[in-house]
Amino acid sequence: MPLDPTQILTLTLSPAVDKSSSVAGIVPDHKLHCAPPVFEPGGGGINVSRGLQRLGVSSRAVFPAGGPVGLQLQQLLTAEGIAQQAVPITGNTRENFTVVDTTTGQQFRFGMPGTPLTSSEQQQILDFLRTCLPVPAYWVISGSLPPGVAPDFLEEVLHLAKARGVKVIADTSGPALQRMVEAGVYLIKPNLRELSQLVGAGGEIESAQLAPMARRLIGAGRCEVVVASLGPQGACLITHDLEDHIPAPAVPRRSTVGAGDSMVAGIVYGLVQGLPLREAARLGVACGTAATMNPGTELFHKADVDRLYHWLRQAMPAAA
């Protein structure tokens, strides 16, 4: 039975409608005849909500939306059964475009600039987070910051979360991630380069440095859990007293779009189901890997997740 959608809230400040298509051969200066486009709701937190829905857990997606594309985004989410809170804005929600060259298998991704948010629109988002009831157990803050939104905004979001006893899961990058970690979060999902930047190491770190550097953040009270994304090599779960390397199962890869968001969805699903952290991280790797098996902006299929998660449980010692 799906959990109450108020248990999990996802926040996406730069949502999009993702349009994907394919064409046989991409060459300059030619009119290219593409396949019929596929439209899907997109943006970090929105994709996490979509992934959770595929796993059988509901959530509430919070995001700004404006113009015809914003309306289309809401309709797409409604069609998928996603509970949502759209904050109206004057700008038009962005579109992204992905095209696959079927002759080479190469994928070309075109990301449009985020839609600026005014100070009053940002305040509307904060007001909703301050008053929404019942209070969710987790807030997942995922994706990039749009123009007009300073990293300080995320610090305000975190203060609201702490005041309401909410655990925050952060999946962003650059100054936004830095500011969130400085304010303190429950869980982060950086790659090696992002983790290096968070601890001021400079450059990408070696795998042997991963756990010590993650524990520098944990020991300083910046976060409680680090799930370091290692791409095709899987992930590494680090807490104060736990280190677990989780390999990614070998699968045919068609697209990496949404793989990171799928991993977060799997982790959050595991947490709300009360699984041990090791199992939640394995489920995250299974979801992220399953997402790479599908073309364009499509996320994972649950049957693939179940199969890959079973493989991980068989390949690794039982979790404590």
- Tens-digit pLDDT string for the chain (320 aa): 344 455 899 999 999 999 989 999 999 999 999 999 999 999 999 999 999 999 999 999 999 999 999 999 999 999 999 999 999 999 999 999 989 899 998 889 899 999 999 999 999 999 999 999 899 999 999 999 999 999 999 999 999 999 999 999 999 999 999 999 999 999 999 988 899 889 887 666 777 788 999 999 999 999 999 999 998 889 999 999 999 999 999 898 887 878 999 999 999 999 999 999 999 999 999 999 999 998 767 789 999 999 999 999 988 765 44
Whole-number pLDDT of residue 6: 54
**Joined tokens for residue 24:** 């046989």
Residue/partner pairs of 204-207 with CB below 8 Å, 24 or more apart: 207/236
In this structure, are residues 20 and 297 in contact, taking their beta carbons and an 8 Å threshold? yes
Strand ranges, E, within the chain:
8-11, 16-23, 38-42, 60-65, 83-88, 94-101, 107-110, 138-142, 167-171, 187-188, 225-229, 235-238, 243-246
**Joined tokens for residue 210:** 């991963």
Whole-number pLDDT of residue 275: 95
Domains annotated for the chain, with CATH where assigned, are 7-15+35-315 (3.40.1190.20)
Whole-number pLDDT of residue 124: 97
- pLDDT tens for 176-215 read 999 999 999 999 999 888 998 898 876 667 777 889 999 9
- pLDDT tens for 119-128 read 999 999 999 9
Whole-number pLDDT of residue 317: 61
Show which residues are catalytic. Answer: 261
The predicted model scores a pTM of: 0.92
Whole-number pLDDT of residue 316: 74
**Joined tokens for residue 151:** 């990293």
**Joined tokens for residue 293:** 């098996």
